[in-house]
Chains A and B, each alone.
Chain A
Amino acid sequence: MQEAPVSFKLRADRALADPTLKIAIDRTTGTAERKRTVAMTQFPQFEAARERGKRIKDHVIANLDHYLLEFERNAIASGAKVHWASTAEEASQIVVALCKQANAKRVTRVKSMLGEEIGLPHALDEAGIERVETDLAEHIVQLGGDRPSHIVWPSMHRTREQVSEMFKRAHRVPHQEETIEAMVASARRELRDKFLSADVSISGANFLIADTGATCTVTNEGNAELTTTPPRVHIVTAGIEKLVPSTEHAFLMLRLLVRSATGADVTQYTTFHCGPKQAGDRDGPEEFHIVLVDNGRTRMLADPALKEMLRCLRCGACMNHCVVFRQLGGHVYGGTYPGPMGAVLTPVFDGLEQSRDLAHACTMNGKCQEVCPVAIPIPTLLRGWRDRSWREGLEPAAARFGLGIHTFVASRPRLYRLGTAIAIKVMRLFSRGGLVRGMPGLGAWTKYREFPAPAKRSFMAMYKDSEGKR
């Protein structure tokens, strides 16, 4: 969504130079990784469940028009109004128009990555509607005036000291004690009356249930229900790939989603929202709107190199386990979605030319695919973007030139061997204790990490010797 102000490389350099950021990232992703590992050992059925989850999503995608229509029919029957949006702009226009129609002065929002994707925070601000983010992390992001840096922990780039300062500046009755408990209590006090006095609430959906027309949200804070109950109007925005056939299928997916996201077996609150308030109900909204958003998803469906990405549950496991994300954090990726899944999705939304660096910011270690609860082959999809970027001539001249030289040398064995023999000698000159810590021409690498010193002799040289001895 947002225009990246500076190049990926510059953003990465800045992130690497920020010592607090690295600490903040490590704390959250480290905990997430440990908790997920424990959850997996307690759920030996995970592999079988993951295979089933993958098949459920593939089944839905293969019958997507059928499930979209079934969902629409049931949602309308429950009293919901269903809207369709092809693009991000269309989607946020629909939401803003619904807010204006409801004469909304104050809108409360439940964290939704799709809302970020379609630029909803900005659209609401532009329309002059007061926007209250109710998820604690999104509240921190809103106070800090920046963007989410993780899809599950949007404010993971902030330390407690920074949060404390923001709350003291913005809250009416801020915390006195410098503890996280006191800060959370301060946010609770600050937001409570806003929950109850909003005119419209906006949420996303973790699942859309085709056979009931319900939408499902999962949260730990309870902010979804406090947000979507008091206002007269509740608007849901959801991507068209969020469908599952039934509530039972949703539970199978939930087991995978929550364990992968936080390592818990289930979130504290799992809620199905079906239609508006019913006759006799004590509370709940009078109007319930669902905006179904395409924004590139049908293009992904038609593209064999991207179709599998439509299985994504937005759990964040891929980024928690990504060596690149854990060095850089989420903002560097420049799009709505960071990490490995973001590197696949961002070119769909922002164009490959803007975001071709993302597919390169990957070591291909395969960890993301390994932990993905629906087994998306993320490295393969990223390789697809690399291919496309090369074919479309988007790779910079220097890279093309360098690879040209490499091709020239590598396809001439004698020249290649001569080259490596010289390189080995030179690199060994600069090595100490088996590691090269600095060397002319290698600075970009050795600035952040060592380079292992090459072996005395190349494999080919040793192979030839042993062949000669036989």
Chain B
Amino acid sequence: MSARETILNAVRAGLDSRKVDAEAARREADALLQDLDAIRPELPAGALVDAFIARVTSPKVAATAERIKDITELPAAVRRYLDAHDLPPHVALQPAAVLEDLDWVALETRDGVKPDDVVGIGIARWGIAETGSLVFHSGPETPILANFLPLHHIVMVRERSILAFLDDYAVAVAGQRPPRNVNLITGASGTTDIEGSLVLGAHGPAHLHVVIVENDIHGDIDADKSTPGASS
């Protein structure tokens, strides 16, 4: 008998050989998702974007954030960040058309992120106000490592794609084929492994800056097209 059969038989024996009714299991599982407000934290009153920014910049997440009106203002926002941190004018772009098409003026940009890059710029598909998380789906325009290699990570997220709770993200993508990786990123990389003291920049970025774009008449990143309704 294969290990698979051995294990499944042992499970069934442990459950008194009761036959699972898949429909009943599904109903029970769904019932466990009811009345979510009773079992998740409350959001502060007011606009979702304000709750999101408050969370991102709180000591819990310890990132910085700013709002811009239009995506065309992103290069200027990046420039301000570089100047404020005394960084050279080289940035690595997540290979998304919407970023590549921007006018980066005097900044030297490179398609794709290298292991020793100082500044990387990316686009998150969603923001989550509950936790201050940014959500990325790996894909042709979203290499996974682009979010982990640079020392400074500047991430753009559209205001309309900010969701209230983690659960809302799960609902938004339910039934779709998941990407290789869904990365929820909440703040910079950190560790408390030496005597419990927190140090940022463990293996991933040491700094996270979030730029929220109010107006997004410009193009979406590729995968957005396959997720209608995700932004509602």
Contact surface of A with B, Cβ cutoff 8 Å: 24, 27-28, 31-32, 42-43, 45, 48-49, 52, 55-56, 59, 62-69, 78, 84-86, 90, 134-137, 140, 153-156, 158-160, 163, 180-181, 183-185, 187-188, 191-193, 195-196, 212, 214, 220-223, 225-226, 229-230, 240, 245-252, 254-255, 262, 264-278, 280-284, 292, 294, 298-299, 301-302, 307
* 10 closest residue pairs by CB, A with B: A222-B204, A298-B10, A301-B14, A282-B143, A302-B14, A221-B202, A137-B193, A66-B20, A280-B140, A49-B39
Q: Is the interface of B mostly helix, strand, loop or mixed?
A: loop
Q: CB distance B197 to A180 under 8 Å? A: yes
Which residues of B have CB within 8 Å of A90? 3
Q: CB distance B183 to A274 under 8 Å? A: no
Which residue, of A42, A63, A255, has the highest number of chain B Cβ atoms within 10 A? A63
Q: CB distance B194 to A136 under 8 Å? A: yes
Q: Which residue of B lies closest to A193 (CB)?
A: B115
Q: CB distance B32 to A301 under 8 Å? A: no
Min Cβ gap A371→B in Å is 18
Min Cβ gap A40→B in Å is 11
Which residues of A have CB within 8 Å of B10? 294, 298-299, 301-302
Known: A220-B192, A278-B179. A254 touches B166 (CB 8 A): yes
Q: CB distance B41 to A265 under 8 Å? A: yes
Residue in A159, A278, A282 whose CB lies within 8 Å of B195 = A159
Q: CB distance A265 to B131 under 8 Å? A: yes
Residue in A156, A196, A268, A278 whose CB lies within 8 Å of B187 = A268
Which residues of B have CB within 8 Å of A222? 148, 189, 202-205
Sample (15) of A-B pairs whose CB atoms are under 8 Å apart:
A48-B39, A63-B25, A68-B7, A163-B194, A220-B190, A222-B203, A225-B148, A225-B204, A230-B145, A245-B29, A251-B166, A254-B166, A262-B192, A268-B190, A283-B144
Residue in B41, B148, B189, B196 whose CB lies within 8 Å of A31 = B196
Residue in B11, B167, B171 whose CB lies within 8 Å of A301 = B11
Q: How far is the CA of A156 from the CA of B12 in the complex (A)?
A: 40
Q: How far is the CA of A136 from the CA of B203 in the complex (A)?
A: 9
Q: How far is the CA of A251 from the CA of B25 in the complex (A)?
A: 19
Q: CB distance A248 to B181 under 8 Å? A: no
Q: How far is the CA of A49 from the CA of B166 in the complex (A)?
A: 14
Contact with A along B142-154 (1 / 0, CB 8 A): 1111011100000
Q: Check: B227 CB closer than 8 A to any chain A CB.
A: no
Q: CB distance A240 to B7 under 8 Å? A: yes
Q: CB distance A221 to B189 under 8 Å? A: yes
Which residues of B have CB within 8 Å of A24? 195
Which residues of B have CB within 8 Å of A196? 115
Contact with A along B173-216 (1 / 0, CB 8 A): 11001111111111111111111110101111100000000000
Q: CB distance A273 to B181 under 8 Å? A: yes
Q: How far is the CA of A115 from the CA of B33 in the complex (A)?
A: 31
Min Cβ gap A295→B in Å is 10
Q: CB distance A221 to B203 under 8 Å? A: yes
Q: How far is the CA of A273 from the CA of B191 in the complex (A)?
A: 22
Which B1-50 residues have a C-beta within 8 angstroms of A? Answer: 2-4, 6-8, 10-15, 20, 22, 25, 28-29, 32-33, 38-42
Min Cβ gap A277→B in Å is 6
Q: CB distance B183 to A160 under 8 Å? A: no
Q: CB distance A225 to B13 under 8 Å? A: no
Q: Which residue of A lies closest to B4 (CB)?
A: A84
Q: How far is the CA of A275 from the CA of B166 in the complex (A)?
A: 22
Known: A27-B195, A63-B20. A185 touches B140 (CB 8 A): no
Which residues of B have CB within 8 Å of A67? 25
Q: CB distance B181 to A284 under 8 Å? A: yes
Which residues of A have CB within 8 Å of B185? 268-269
Known: A64-B15, A282-B140, A292-B7. A180 touches B194 (CB 8 A): yes
Q: Check: B95 CB closer than 8 A to any chain A CB.
A: yes
Which residues of A have CB within 8 Å of B174? 246-248
